[in-house]
Structure 1
């Protein structure tokens, strides 16, 4: 169980990391070793091991130039620190280090949590039908618990603007598209215009994870319950339905037109998007009238993220995760799906 390993020369100095951890009171025996783990295409994630078998996770931004506001591991550290006393399943954070001897970028260290990480087709194929069926509703229930966090009590009320989230998301990701695209994609530009035109009125404000999907959680291999939610660098304050829409966007069904998006959820036994929506409604009690809009926006956003990942891999192939960067046509496929979803929901 746990994270799959990727062979890669670590982009941090392990001797310096051992020194910094010891200075913070962390027991470190002997020399450290590191392996790139996970299939995430954003921040570089390493499993760190000492001579006594202790394990930690270290995260840092990708190599080379990164877009402004992207890959912010220091923001992630602050959010995880604020949530330590809540019942949200997250890793314990150990340190945040800005030291040129360690790396040219900030590095965050947290505990290693063992468990089931469904980020490969073969992992999903090996699961029982019962476990497959449990994973989706467990994700939806965990997402509802994130949205119940009392922002004032945990000190996150000032994390970001309280202005309408849809407008902020469109502004941010449209800018990311203009800075990261590798070619023209008129259908995406037209989708941006549609999303601006159909923005719903914001009715709720909560902590929003920003990138919540099956590959960003560690689950119990027996029950499917979520042991840890990972990758918080995109977290902000906004409409909680945005997270649900993204979860649906990352959850293809067998009847969907195939794309290069990770498709574990198309296997028999996995919950449907309707099942996820029902589980979230049951756990949260929220009105989901505007959910189709956020589903479409989620697909649009993932298309832009995929293009950014592709650009970073083209600039420096070492940034690509195990399995390589996204296919060049993934953004096109996702925008096609976004348009079909919008038409089905009457948003066009």
Structure 2
């Protein structure tokens, strides 16, 4: 990314960088008027190793060939540990992704405005559905094998991000002087932290027992994913300790209240309240988000309070601890809970996607009615490290 090396201690430099490969691919597809053709053909390409469709533009074919495999530095032993971590904690991870990682995205005002740019008013849960499907693909045992859906999804998401950069810059709908490049390296790496470090934080708050090795492997898997989504590996923290520092500094630097963040959170709550049968337990959704992200952040996102449910949800660690003891009781208990976890995860995905396969199509335009306005100037148990001393309030 550029001629000058950067690292995660240079956030201003990271704000000036996008994703050169994906950006060049998208620019050429638009320049040649081939984006519509690309999207149509890509609907038939959704598995690793699948033959590319005839008629695919050359620039797209070259991009897909260049990004068809994980980075060469991947340690597959670590990835296997991460896979086992996913299996053991799949339903907990899905909960943390939905009720901690997604709201964390909404806590960054310029990210909330950017996410609002690609939300269809008729289907506001689309981005949540795409994120849910993407992470479920990642958690499957065959994620990096032939015939899997994960790698093609990563390739398409990377182009989706590049297309948003293309539209916002071309149409002058992004204050680049104040905010840097849209979906810049700092924001991409910050997003990686939300789906890794902040998910681990949420699991800890839920009382989930994680080993140091398991937590490190989970973060390592997201390092691999980040590289596949266009994060510059030279700028990404190499271990969980340095990732913690990046995450703390990124959030302290950017988080705050915004109307877009509150709206996106309301849509998230509404979506999951539809999933919960009846209405009696609807308040548990907001209460769980508040519990996982804290009162200050929850107030910024206009998450409603409920004295009853805000108190009740604090019993979650006790209940989950009981389930862990059942799981540890023997192979049968482990099999039952792992199977139940997979079932719950798949049910949640089905509810999010409404039975559809999300295609991650590259938008040919950002519709004005929801576009962005220029921004205003068990043993060895893992526990989160304390917040950096210079960031404490």
Choose between structure 1 and 2: higher strand proportion. Answer: 1
Point out which structure has higher relative CO (alpha carbons under 8 A, 6+ apart).
2
TM-score by length of structure 2 reads: 0.28
Taking structure 1 as the reference length, the TM-score comes to 0.31
